[in-house]
Structure 1
Amino acid sequence: MFTGIVEELGEVVRVEQAPGAARLTVRGPLVTSDARHGDSIAVNGVCLTVVDVSGGEFTVDVVHETLRRSSLAKLDVGRGVNLERAVRADARLGGHVMQGHVDGTGTFLSREPEGLTHFALPPELARYVVEKGSIAVDGVSLTVAAVSREEFAVALIPTTLEATTLGRVEPGDPVNLEVDVLAKYVEKLAAAHLAGVSVDNGPGKEDA
């Protein structure tokens, strides 16, 4: 599990392509300070398993499914990435509960001078995003300021812009999105009970 509080802005130092997969080596002195083989580190919000650690760098394998669902396939050497180690059970939950399982990608649209930042939202994810709810963008836990069926906006403080990749994105850049997993569980549990049940919207005009 993760919380979306980015610990370090890392850098991709090596990309090795393989049939239907890729191997990434990322520089991250802080997250590697106690990392071991088999540990989980979120890279731009994607939970990946460490296969090697050496000299402030760690290596991870990225399978086809992850490449297909996320923006990691577009990473190249020198690119900055948001890094977070898996949260400890006794740590403060500073952001919100995240799995590191990306639901899809959005697109950076624009940023207003006061910091309100707009992203395109895939239609299939729109129902899980609500105003004042939580969403993870490239692994950063954020509060939704506004949402429609096609886009959402978040208010980014200067610290977030400086300490994460969100201060470096340009219009058209893809970003990884993870919606609140609690919303997905509620939807699944409620679906069976709501199937075929009409919703009472209160008295109609004829009843007034």
Structure 2
Amino acid sequence: MFTGIIHYLGSVVGYRQNRQILVIKAADLPGPLKRGESLAVNGVCLSVENHEAQKLSFHLSSETLALTNLSQLRPGDLVNLELPLTLQTPLSGHLVTGHVDALGTILRIQSRGEGKRMTISSPENLRPYLVPKGSIAVNGVSLTIAFLGKDYFEVELIPLTLQKTNLGRLRPGDKVNLEGDIIGKYVYNYLSKEK
């Protein structure tokens, strides 16, 4: 479980074994992390295979490759990193599981003073969990839905978010990992069964 508050960035070193092993460099990440420990990479909960000399490797399942943007990364790309929530961790964002619901596409980015407003497509399977002013994780970053359209939503990015995450480096057409709010998912599932 995570909070969607990003404290670390890593950079992609590359892939091994036909893209089944992702290797990233994370100089600032405390560690070393032990084999099997969890780390959110662009909002995807992954198990650490190895962590040494500031490099981490992760096995990517076929489902992870199919449902997330981790298969589309290039060497040098920055990725958002988050350590798991502990009982001492302030819950500054919202509860994020690291289980991506869908890939969205950035449709538009508009400057708003020092910040930006980003428009992202919302795939059909994600829409039941989205509400205006509700929470959503975009590449693992906890954000508030500023506007909800029929097949898209908009989020506001403050300067701190642009500086501390990879969202400020994205362009229209880029794919982002999306995770709906876990509470919304449970409520939707419960109400669907009641009908």
User: Which residue of 1 is the match for residue 13 of structure 2?
Assistant: 13
User: 1:157 is aligned with what amino acid?
Assistant: I
SS at match of 2:51: strand
Deviation at 1:37, TM superposition (A): 1.2
User: 1:166 is aligned with what amino acid?
Assistant: L
Unpaired segments of 5 or more residues in structure 2? none
Relative to the length of structure 2, the TM-score reads 0.94
User: Which residue of 1 is the match for residue 58 of structure 2?
Assistant: 60
Deviation at 1:32, TM superposition (A): 4.2
Q: State the percentage of identical aligned residues.
A: 41
Question: What are the residue-to-residue correspondences of 1:161-200 with 2, within 5 Å?
Answer: 161-193=162-194, 195=195
Unpaired segments of 5 or more residues in structure 1? 196-208
Question: What are the residue-to-residue correspondences of 1:91-130 with 2, within 5 Å?
Answer: 91-114=89-112, 115-130=116-131
Which whole-Å CA distance do the structure 2 matches of 1:86 and 1:156 have between them? 23
C-alpha RMSD of the superposition:
1.2
User: Which residue of 2 is the match for residue 200 of structure 1?
Assistant: none
User: Which residue of 2 is the match for residue 135 of structure 1?
Assistant: 136
User: Which residue of 1 is the match for residue 153 of structure 2?
Assistant: 152
Q: Deviations over 1:93-122 (max 9, x none)?
A: 111001000001001111222122111111
Question: What are the residue-to-residue correspondences of 1:37-76 with 2, within 5 Å?
Answer: 37-76=35-74
SS at match of 2:125: helix
User: 1:146 is aligned with what amino acid?
Assistant: F
Deviation at 1:17, TM superposition (A): 3.4
Q: Deviations over 1:23-46 (max 9, x none)?
A: 011111232424111110111000
Which whole-Å CA distance do the structure 2 matches of 1:75 and 1:17 have between them? 15
Which whole-Å CA distance do the structure 2 matches of 1:165 and 1:191 have between them? 36
Q: 1:172 to 1:135 in 2, by over 3 A?
A: same
1:82 to 67, 75, 80: 80
User: 1:40 is aligned with what amino acid?
Assistant: S
SS at match of 1:143: strand
Which whole-Å CA distance do the structure 2 matches of 1:64 and 1:149 have between them? 30
User: 2:173 is aligned with what amino acid?
Assistant: G
Deviation at 1:58, TM superposition (A): 0.9
Which whole-Å CA distance do the structure 2 matches of 1:14 and 1:125 have between them? 30
Deviation at 1:151, TM superposition (A): 0.6
Which whole-Å CA distance do the structure 2 matches of 1:89 and 1:44 have between them? 23
CA contact (8 A) 1:32 1:56 kept: no
CA contact (8 A) 1:32 1:53 kept: no
Paired residues, number: 192
SS at match of 2:17: strand
Deviation at 1:88, TM superposition (A): 1.1
User: 1:165 is aligned with what amino acid?
Assistant: N
